[in-house]
Amino acid sequence: MKKTGYILLALLLLAACTKTGDYSSLAGKRVPDQEIWNTVVTITRAGQITTRIYAAHLVKYQDTQD
């Protein structure tokens, strides 16, 4: 009985460590540093709202000096 438990535990650990996605498509591409979904950006001037930006998805990339 104990041997079956160890085998089951080993199978669970192996299943938990498998790769879930194909990340090869990201090779050579820039990956965003930050991502925000469903956000509202509010810009003010002298305490008064001047602009509101509604965005479903915003991304920020690291500035690089290549």
Is the confidence at residue 1, as pLDDT, over 70? no
Q: What is the pTM of this model?
A: 0.45
Q: Which residues are bridge partners to 41 per DSSP?
A: 53
User: What does the block give as tokens for 14?
Assistant: 């192996």
Residue ranges of domains in the chain: 32-66
Instruction: Give, as one character, the DSSP assignment of residue 63.
Output: -
Using one digit for the tens of pLDDT, what is the confidence trace for 5-50? 778 777 777 766 656 555 566 666 777 888 899 999 999 999 999 9
Higher confidence at residue 59 or residue 18? 59
pLDDT at 32: 81
